[in-house]
Structures are given as C-alpha cells and as structure tokens.
C-alpha cells in the first residue's frame, strides 16, 4: 500500500509587502532583492492573525479539493517553526477548529524542511494502513520572528500556509521520502531564544529574531540539495529525465537554479513562487505545489520531486507520482 495526494490547498494573508515597500523600511533596493534572491513581494499576516489561522484555511481548501470532510481526517501533522504558542501545538489548534477530536494531532519542528518531514511521517502512517486520511500542513508566520531593521534577512521571508490530504492507494503516490540533518551547522541559521533558553538583556546582544550567515547557508544548501535529489533518484533506480516537475523550497532563485541544473531540468519544469511568496519556510513547498496543481501545470500521473532545506540544518526530498 502507498499514500497518494488526494488534494492540495494554500492560504496567503491579504497584505502584500513589495520590494518597493521594503525600500521605505530598510536601506535596500528592488533591484538588489530581485537580482540576489528572485523575490519581488511577500504576504504578511495581519496583526492578530496566527499560524493556526493560516493553517486552517489552507487545510479546508485541501480537504475541499480532495472531496473529504473534516470528519474523515484521522491524522493531522503540521510543519511549523512559528507556532501560535508553545503548547498546545498548532495541530491541536487546527484540530479543534475542524471539530475532529480524537485523532493524533501534532507539529514537527524542522524549520524550512518542516513540510517534507511532516509529509514523510504521514506517508508512513497511511502506507502502513494506520491512517485512512491524513492532513499534512506547512504553515508559518515568519514575519513575527523577523528583524524588520535588518536588511540582510527581512527582505527574504513571508507568511503563508499550504496543505495536502493523503489517502491510501494501491499504486504510488509517494514513491519515497528522504530526510537528513546536520546539527553541526546550527550556527548558520537559527533563532537564538526559546522557552528554555531565554534572552538575558545583560549578556545577549542578539535580538529575538532569525539570525543567518547567508553566504554560508547558500553554499551548504546548494551542496546538500544536490546530494539529496541524487539520493532520491538513485534509491528508486530512476533517471533525472523521469522527473516532470521540480517543486523546490523557495528560498533563493539561484539555489533553485543550481538544483535544476544538477537534474538537467529546464527552468520551465521548475515551480517557482518565490517571486510572489518570498521564503515562507515550511509553507513554501506545499504552496508551490498547490499553485501548479490549480493552474493546470501539474497533472495526474506526473512525477514530482519535492525538496527543502532549512535551519538545523535540516533537509529532505520526496519523489512522488501525482
Ligand atoms: N539590500 C542591499 N544590500 C544588501 C542587502 C539588501 N537587502 N543585504 C545585504 N546587502 C549587502 C551586504 O551588506 C553586502 O555589502 P558589502 O559588499 O558592502 O559588504 C552585499 O550586499 C553583498 O552581501 P552578500 O551577503 O555577500 O550577498 P549574497 O549575494 O550572498 O546574497 C543572500 C545574500 C542572503 C540573498 C544570499 O546569501 C542567500 O540567499 N543565502 C541563502 C539564505 C537562505 O536561503 N536562507 C534561508 C534558508 S531556508
């Protein structure tokens, strides 16, 4: 038995912040941001709008696309690094809103790889018959942990949520998932504080925001992503030419181009949403998937390669037949 994607959905907050808007906030230019990253605009959650709000809306759209009712969901997992509160986890918050008490509901904390990690877990439950209908969400409000005075990071990130419904199938579906991490890179991309390591204003100079060594992250990302897409193809004895669409984590256009080149894929075969969404961490891959499913580029039977990397560092890939 395998798991298969029965439906996809996404939700983006209403407010759009363009590169030109950012020119008024920090010392940057639209040209610099577009040339170095490929990003043109991003969505920002309204005051009071939380990760669970975005997640619920994306989830309802995915369930509608899959033709399932909330009552059918028996497993709920959310990839997020910006939960509403420490606990209850975002999965429980979404579960309560959907009125589906009883099923497992939790979140996975793997930064930008959160959706691939969550998908991998849900796939195991569905493919082994432990779940008949799983809801997998990637949702973030990164704007809440972004330093809006730091031009080296604030131009990159945005808010949003994407979701898929997984159901059992006799044929794949999800062919394989591959997860990896290297905590040795923890200092390249991180948030310095949390419930257990609180900020000491006497000692800690870093603010409570995303910290990043952009150049170094860039190099490691290119290397690890090229490695993991090779691993995914090799594990299934598949050639690069079998991939119809690459759905990469939307962090930087140049990183995406490097992975596409490795796969010998023209950029027409790569789903790019970062110009409109920025880097939405765990939400980026499921939102890109939903965009291309709904605009008709991705069709049933296509072979897709999903990949992501993020703080940790964590990275992962998923090969699937849509
Ligand atoms: N606007 C204008 N100038 C900026 C700027 C901005 N928003 N941010 C940085 N600069 C300046 C720097 O200060 C530097 O100036 P200097 O040469 O006078 O010192 C110059 O631009 C080049 O900076 P650099 O950091 O070398 O640029 P880069 O080409 O590496 O691009 C990133 C920076 C962050 C876009 C790029 O490194 C990147 O995308 N890295 C990966 C980050 C990532 O993906 N993170 C998320 C992982 S999930």
Q: What is the pLDDT of residue 141?
A: 98
State what percent of residues in the chain have pLDDT above 70. 100
Q: Whose CA is nearest to atom 34 of ligand 1?
A: 214
Does the Cβ of 36 fall within 6 Å of ligand 1?
A: yes
Q: Considering the chain, what is the average pLDDT of its residues?
A: 97
Q: What is the CB-side half-sphere exposure of residue 96 using CA atoms within 13 A?
A: 7
Determine the residue of 218, 254, 255 to mutate for testing ligand 1's pocket, defined as the one with the most ligand atoms within 8 A of the Cβ atom.
Answer: 218
| pLDDT (mean) for 222-250 | 95
106 burial via Cβ count (<10 Å: 0-12, 13-18, 19+): middle
pLDDT of residue 12: 98
For 297, list phi and psi in degrees, rounded to 5.
-70, -50
Give the distance (Å) from ligand 1 centre to CA of residue 134.
39
pLDDT at 203: 94
pLDDT of residue 287: 98
DSSP 8-state code for residue 139: E
When pLDDT is averaged across residues 12-33 and rounded to a whole number, the result is 98
Q: What is the pLDDT of residue 307?
A: 98
Which pLDDT does position 118 carry in this prediction? Answer: 98
Q: Work out the pLDDT band at 113, boundaries 50, 70, 90.
A: very high
Q: How far is the CA of 263 from the centre of ligand 1 (A)?
A: 26
For the segment 160-218, what is each residue's pLDDT rounded down to a tens digit? 999 999 999 999 999 999 999 999 999 999 999 999 999 999 999 999 999 999 999 99
**Is the Cβ atom of 256 under 6 angstroms away from ligand 1?**
no
For residue 310 and ligand 1, the question of a CB distance below 6 A is answered with yes
Q: With CA atoms as reference, report the closest residue to 240 among 255, 220, 267, 260.
A: 260
Q: Work out the number of other CB atoms within 10 angstroms of the CB of residue 206.
A: 12
Look at residue 281 in the predicted model and tell me its pLDDT: 98
Average pLDDT (242-247) is 96
Entry pTM: 0.97
């Amino acid at each position: 038995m395998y798991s298969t994607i029965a439906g996809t959905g996404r939700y983006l907050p209403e407010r759009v912040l363009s590169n030109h808007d950012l020119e008024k906030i920090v010392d940057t230019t639209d040209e610099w941001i577009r040339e170095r990253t490929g990003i043109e605009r991003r969505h920002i959650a309204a005051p009071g709008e939380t990760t669970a709000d975005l997640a619920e809306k994306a989830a309802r759209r995915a369930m509608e696309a899959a033709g399932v009712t909330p009552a059918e969901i028996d497993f709920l997992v959310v990839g997020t690094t910006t939960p509403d509160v420490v606990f209850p986890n975002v999965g429980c918050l979404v579960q309560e809103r959907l009125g589906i008490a009883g099923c497992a509901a939790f979140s996975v904390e793997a930064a930008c790889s959160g959706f691939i990690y969550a998908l991998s877990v849900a796939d195991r439950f569905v493919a082994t018959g432990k779940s008949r209908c799983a809801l997998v969400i990637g949702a973030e409000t990164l704007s809440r942990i972004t330093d809006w005075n730091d031009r080296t990071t604030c131009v990159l990130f945005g808010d949003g949520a994407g979701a898929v419904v997984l159901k059992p199938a006799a044929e794949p579906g999800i062919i394989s998932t591959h997860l990896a991490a290297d905590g040795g890179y923890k200092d390249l991309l991180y948030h310095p504080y949390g419930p257990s390591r609180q900020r000491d204003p006497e000692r800690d100079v870093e603010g409570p925001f995303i910290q990043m060594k952009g150049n170094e992250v860039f190099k490691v990302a290119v290397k690890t992503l090229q490695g993991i897409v090779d691993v995914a193809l090799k594990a299934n004895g598949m050639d690069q030419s079998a991939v119809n669409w690459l759905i990469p984590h939307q962090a930087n256009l140049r990183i995406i181009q490097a992975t596409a080149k490795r796969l010998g894929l023209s950029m027409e075969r790569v789903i790019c949403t970062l110009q409109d969404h920025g880097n939405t961490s765990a939400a980026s891959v499921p939102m890109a998937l939903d965009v291309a499913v709904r605009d008709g580029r991705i069709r049933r039977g296509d072979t897709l390669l999903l990949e992501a990397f993020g703080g940790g560092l964590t990275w992962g890939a998923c090969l699937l037949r849509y």
